[in-house]
Structure 1
Amino acid sequence: MTTALDRPQDLPPTLTMAAATTTVTTTTSVLLADGHHLFRSGLSALLDREPDLTVCSEACDAESAVAQATGDRPDIAVVDLDVPGAGGLRTAELIRSLSPRTAVLLLGAAPRADEVQRAYADGVHGMLRKDVRPERLISTVRELAAGRRVFDPELVLVAIRPGPDTPTRRELAVLRLVAAGSTIGEVANQLSLSPGTVRNYVSSAIARTGARNRCDAIRIARENDWL
């Protein structure tokens, strides 16, 4: 005898089929701000190859970066530390103020200790060197999207390194004249040195202060009241 429990049930077809598995992919939107078109285009192509990342807008200077971040509200803003205009640190500050949900990742060719320190103190979410490996950059973007802060360990070491050494009296004399607009030849004449010796003093002052170039060495000397 067949009971009600033995008989097939009249169920809707959709309920008799195996449940379909639905995969929801969250896409992270990225704004790129860099004054170098070639670098920006390459970075855009790199990120757009990832299924979970999409470049929503690009900017060639600080002003347009802030405007696009305010309008597009991207998840991540990748900003060059030396972006034309206000510079990366100020741009990051404005983006964080006008689009609080946007995490800012700064990229720098050779960030100085004070730049790394300020970025961290200002709440910037991440900072890497521009020569970082592609896979490291991609993983960092994902980490920022997950709410983490990521600073390159090498940059952290730069930030905690002791301050610049004081240039020698002769190095400062050379820097002072260069800062006033004198050429290498003019400095050599004024100090009774050969042009090669003047260049050596400039190079040693750059190395001693940890500067990137002579202009940076002059800046550091002025900030430390050596000039």
Structure 2
Amino acid sequence: MEANRQRWKAFGWFTLRLSAFALFCAAVYFSEPWRAVPAHWNPWHPLSLDDPMSPVTNWKLAQLKNDPAACLDVLQSADAEMLDYLPLDDYTPVTGCPLSNVVRIRRSNVAFNAPFTVTCPLAVRWVMFESQQLQPLALGHFGTRVARIEHFGSFACRNIYHRASGRRSQHATASAFDIAAFRLDDGTEANVLRHWDDEDAPARAAFLRDVHDAACGYFGTVLGPDYNQPHANHFHVDTSGMGFCR
């Protein structure tokens, strides 16, 4: 008899605790505390081009590689002044180098020396970097904005460093972009080859180094003149890796 009473008592306590836990879960669910979490820290909130970079933002950007429709949805949120682009069907411009989830960029908030084709995820990262870092850095260093970018292109069906064998370059999938120079509204040019270590143009050198360092927070890999001689004249940015910055 006493044993049964103890079992019912234990069962009662268990039921009470279970009910209290259920009430707690219901309170959490209906109060929706996650709505108070900033969007760039909320993994359930859709990615926005205005989101500051955070580990969660970077995670959302990484998901775009396998979700072309979602990536295009993000790009479509950009107004015409922020980005002029054309979504492209998957195609193979050169045998052995098929392209998928790519767009053709004609201009953004800056003009380019030529249109270029990049993967949609790289385009999203570029738009965010340009508005959140590049233009503010130009205003901070020179009091004016970047008007034009000189680049060496994006797609090239080749192995790394043009070697006859070895792994493919990120350029072979249009997942990389090489930047040679920035021209400002007032005509000032910051050229990677000429001004990276130019003691006679310290403002331009400082701007280039700040741009390089800021890019490291937005792209998987960023390479510049301090990496090796082949990158002496440009910044290479791509979506591979996990923050390799040299």
Q: Structure 1 length normalisation: TM-score?
A: 0.28
Q: Structure 2 length normalisation: TM-score?
A: 0.27
Bigger fraction of residues in helix: 1
- When Rg is computed on C-alpha atoms for both structures, the one with the higher figure is 1
